[in-house]
A and B are shown apart, each in its own frame.
Chain A
Amino acid sequence: MLKNAKTSFKIGGSVGIIILLLGITVMFGMYQMSKVSNEIIEISQEYIPLYEIVSDIKFQKSTQAVSLEKIIRYTDSNNLQELEKAKEKFWLSGGTIDSDVERGKNIVNVGIDIAKSEKSYEEFRTLFQKLSNIKTNHEQYEILVGDLFLELNDMKSNDGLLEQIMSVENKLEIELDVMLASLSTLADESTVQIEDNERDSLTGQIIIITIVGTIAAALGFFISQINNDLKKEVDLKTKELKTANEKLKELDKMKDEFIGIASHELKSPIQPILGFAELAKSGDIGQKEAWDGVLQLTSKLQDLANAILDVSKIESDRLELQLEKIKINDLILDITKSQKINLKKPVIIQENLDENIQVEIDKIRIGQVLRNLLNNALKFTPRGIISIDTHVYQEENKIQVKISDTGFGIPEEILLKIFEKFVTKRIKKGEQSGTGLGLFLCKGIIQAHGGEITAQNKFGGGAIFEFTIPILQKNKIMNPSQLSINKKF
């Protein structure tokens, strides 16, 4: 069960992590996009118009240079009409440059406003500065050119001025080129930056998706593991059920066998009883003979019926004992005495008894056991000695009773099963007198007392039956050492 809980936890945890990571992926992607779009793209969008403006300034400046050349030429050639046209064009271009510069400054200001990083801010401030320098230089250029126009009107020599103009113009040219290069670089850089960011976010997303995929695979693996675990458990349970089922089948078979033998045993005495009834009725035999026979047979039948009932009680643990404190030797001697009276064989019954202690037993049942064992000994001993011994082990709270004989002994195939039901009735050469349940009942009675019973053959011929029972029953025990000893039984 604990293992199952662990696996369920694995699944739950994995599913949770997957959902969490998917959410993170989505949010991460969105964040990345917003991050890029907000700053960089907006800023990058500034560079292109700026570039165009500065390019236009450069163009207008070139136009002004061309116009200046024309003005000088037309002054020399005294072409007043063209001269005025060229001057007009010159100042027009200058005006365009001014407005370009203003537009450029506005765009740069916007960039300054939206710039979030220090780097971007500085970049735009630099651009603003550059534009300011361009404006300053251009103004200087136009002032010098204005002076040149005056000089030209006055026909004065103007080489020195022209040189200054050239120098300022060059300076302007350089500044414009630098700014264009700078803008170009910034545009490239921001493109690279955008690409980098996109690549990073893509990488990040790929990593997350890979992790998610791995977790999904792990999840799949866990599920298959659970599946296998469940399958194994099902297989195990099936096996257990199979075993239990086979056990039940066997018990059923044994029950059927018992019932078969029991009913046979009950029917057997009825045959001669029926015979006696018939013969007595038809007057073929005397009343006394018939009734004596019937009484004897019904007594046997009664014994068998009671034995079968006892078997049923023992099997379902319902054998009830009427416990009382009995002097054990008195009981034994009682039983041996009645046996000795009817003894017709050359057999001696000998008692070697220990102390005549009080034992807590069911008198009738233990009497039944003793009689049964003695009768068996007598049945199978044509001559010799039957001896009954007792040993008292007071500290261990047990008493041992041994009944041994000098008879035929117990055949091997019977000895193994001797305490089972109807053993002698089940084999071909079996003994046919007796109920066939005596020893089974003996074992049941002894075990109900919390004892043990064994049977074995004696070396040199004959059999020994031995049982051990507690002197006092468990609930009367006072000290703990006796408690642990009783566990043995």
Chain B
Amino acid sequence: MNVLVAEDNLFTIKQYKHVLEKNGYNVTTARDGEECMQKYNEAFLSLETESIESGPFDVVLIDNNMPKKNGAEAVREILERCPNQRIIFASAYNINSILSAPGVLKDSVEILQKPFSLNTMIAKIQTK
């Protein structure tokens, strides 16, 4: 199981990686929006043709506030490439205001409201 995690806070990303690997996931990390897209595209290119629609990762966990490119932008680009890619979007901003803004995130994107516990994160990933 492959996971891509994009988060700029060093502590946070270390914690995610630790917990995910403990639960048997293969973790790819990115520290900003650009690195996130770069790693996503690399993985995409080495995909088998039948997996193209659902993307190279089982789940992509993206934080909204990252330098160079923010999470919402990255989500949009990923979905353009692979419309069925499973994405979990994390934000400390009020979820309702994000949802009410039209066209920001596709309906299929799952949302985690920060702060959340690591157990919550694992549970969310594991329930499909």
Q: Does the CB pair A276–B15 fall under 8 Å?
A: yes
The reply to whether B92 and A267 form a contact with Cβ atoms under 8 Å apart is yes
Residues on the A chain within 8 Å of B19, using CB: 275, 279, 284
> In the complex, which residues 104-128 of chain B have their Cβ closer than 8 Å to any Cβ of chain A?
114-119
Number of interface residues of A (CB under 8 A): 25
Q: A275 contacts B114, CB within 8 Å?
A: no
A271 within 8 Å of B (CB atoms): yes
Per the bound structure, the CA–CA distance linking A297 and B12 in Å amounts to: 11
Pairwise interchain contact B11-A272, C-beta atoms closer than 8 A:
yes
B94 engages A293 (CB within 8 Å): no
- Give chain A residues whose Cβ lies under 8 Å from the Cβ of B54: none
How close is A142's CB to chain B, nearest CB, in angstroms? 135
Q: Which of B47-96 contact A (CB under 8 A)?
A: 65-70, 73, 92-94
Contact residues of A: prevailing secondary structure: helix
Most chain B CB neighbours (cut-off 10 Å) among A272, A276, A278, A297:
A272
- The reply to whether the CB of A430 lies closer than 8 angstroms to some CB of chain B is yes
Q: What is the 8 Å Cβ interface bit string for chain A, positions 280-316, against chain B (1 contact, 0 not)?
A: 0000110000000100010000000000000000000
- Chain A residues 109 to 162 lying within 8 A of chain B, measured CB to CB, are none
Closest residue of chain B to A425, judged by CB? Answer: B65
Contact (Cβ within 8 A) A271 B12: yes
Residue of A nearest to B97 (CB): A260
Q: In the complex, are the beta carbons of A275 and B70 less than 8 A apart?
A: no
Query: Does A6 touch B at the CB level, under 8 Å?
Result: no
Closest partner residue, chain A, to B7 (CB atom)? A271
For the complex formed, measure the closest distance between the CB of B124 and the CB atoms of chain A, giving whole angstroms: 14
B118 and A268 within 8 A (CB): no
Distance in angstroms between the alpha carbons of A69 and B69 in the assembled complex: 153
Q: Contacts of B66 on A, CB cut-off 8 Å?
A: 432
| CA of A276 to CA of B70, assembled, Å | 25
Complex CA–CA separation, A263 to B11 (angstroms): 20
Chain A residues closer than 8 Å to B117, beta-carbon distance: 274-275, 278
Q: Are A429 and B22 in contact (CB under 8 A)?
A: no
Distance in angstroms from B61 CB to nearest chain A CB is 12
B75 to chain A, nearest CB (A): 13
